[in-house]
């Protein structure tokens, strides 16, 4: 009788022990919620409008999957939101991390709360104009009074001084589609775009690149970083160690 009871109880105890170990592991996981936009190809793109924060794909997302496989003590989650709202989250110190940007675009009040990972991919912002535009090169001395379309909430580093002094006029919008509409209708003289991401973004509009040209000379180039809250020092250290050992996917 006792043997029968023992044989019955032993598997149950084993199952409970395994379940408790799994639960303990899950409890030990540190959740890192990364705020990001909705589309920044090829680094990340929402693949479904239903629960966009849980449906992301791209080069950066693949990198974070590999990181989590190597560092299972972290649980990586994402929260998609407009760039202006991301700025407010960072200013208040509410986000664990932000993907992806350069420290040169961060105001001092954000830098006080956040630090940057090791640099990753290099990208550049350029002027986008119509194919027949009289603007043939980047020459702000001869563009005084020009109106430039920009994405609302974005910082523009070295160009800020021209906007602040009134040498250039800024026309903020909320989406790439609106930027393309403004340029195509000649309601602005040019727009700031990212040379690497624009081809992927334009696919979601009625426009094609054959009507536009990207001026070859970059306005500025910068390295992309994961911006991490200073309270997550261990995560920063582990992520930097991982990126040192893991070659980045080459972006064409």
> How far is 60 from 50, CA to CA, in rounded Å?
21
3-state secondary structure of 194: strand
Q: If you average pLDDT over every residue of the chain, what do you get? A: 89
CATH for 232: 3.40.190.10
Q: Name the pTM for this structure.
A: 0.81
Confidence bin at 18 (pLDDT 50/70/90): very low
pLDDT digits (tens, 9 = 90+) for 142-184: 899 999 999 888 888 778 899 999 999 999 998 899 999 999 9
Model confidence at 6: pLDDT above 80: no
> How far is 230 from 228, CA to CA, in rounded Å?
6
> How far is 78 from 88, CA to CA, in rounded Å?
17
Co-location of 35 and 115 in the same domain = yes
> How far is 77 from 94, CA to CA, in rounded Å?
14
pLDDT digits (tens, 9 = 90+) for 192-236: 999 999 988 998 899 999 999 999 999 999 999 999 999 999 999
Domain that holds residue 40: 29-121+224-245
Average pLDDT on 87-110 reads 95
Residue 191 lies in a domain: yes
Number of domains, the chain: 2
Co-location of 186 and 149 in the same domain = yes
Contact assessment for residue 123 and residue 195, using Cβ atoms and an 8 Å cutoff: yes
Average pLDDT on 107-135 reads 95
């Amino acid at each position: 009788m006792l043997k029968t009871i023992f044989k019955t109880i032993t598997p149950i105890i084993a199952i409970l022990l395994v379940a408790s170990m799994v639960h303990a592991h899950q409890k030990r996981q540190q959740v890192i919620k990364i705020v990001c936009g909705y589309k920044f190809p090829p680094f990340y793109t929402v693949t479904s409008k239903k629960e966009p924060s849980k449906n992301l794909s791209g080069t950066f997302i693949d990198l974070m999957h590999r990181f989590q496989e190597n560092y299972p003590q972290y649980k990586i989650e994402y929260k998609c939101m407009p760039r202006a709202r991301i700025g407010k989250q960072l200013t208040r110190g509410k986000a664990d991390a932000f993907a992806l940007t350069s420290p040169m675009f961060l105001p001092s009040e954000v830098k006080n709360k956040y630090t940057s990972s090791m640099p990753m991919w290099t990208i550049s912002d350029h002027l986008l104009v119509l194919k027949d535009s009289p603007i043939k090169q980047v020459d702000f001395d001869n563009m005084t009074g020009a109106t430039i379309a920009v994405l609302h909430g974005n910082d523009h580093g070295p160009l800020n001084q021209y906007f602040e002094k009134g040498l250039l006029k800024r026309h903020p919008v909320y989406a790439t589609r609106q930027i393309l509409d403004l340029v195509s209708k000649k309601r602005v003289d040019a727009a700031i775009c990212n040379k690497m991401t624009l081809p992927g973004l334009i696919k979601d509009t009625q426009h094609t690149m054959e009507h536009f040209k990207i001026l070859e000379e970059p306005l500025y180039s910068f390295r992309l970083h994961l911006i991490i809250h200073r309270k997550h020092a261990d995560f920063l250290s582990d992520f930097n160690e991982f990126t040192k050992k893991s070659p980045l996917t080459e972006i064409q």
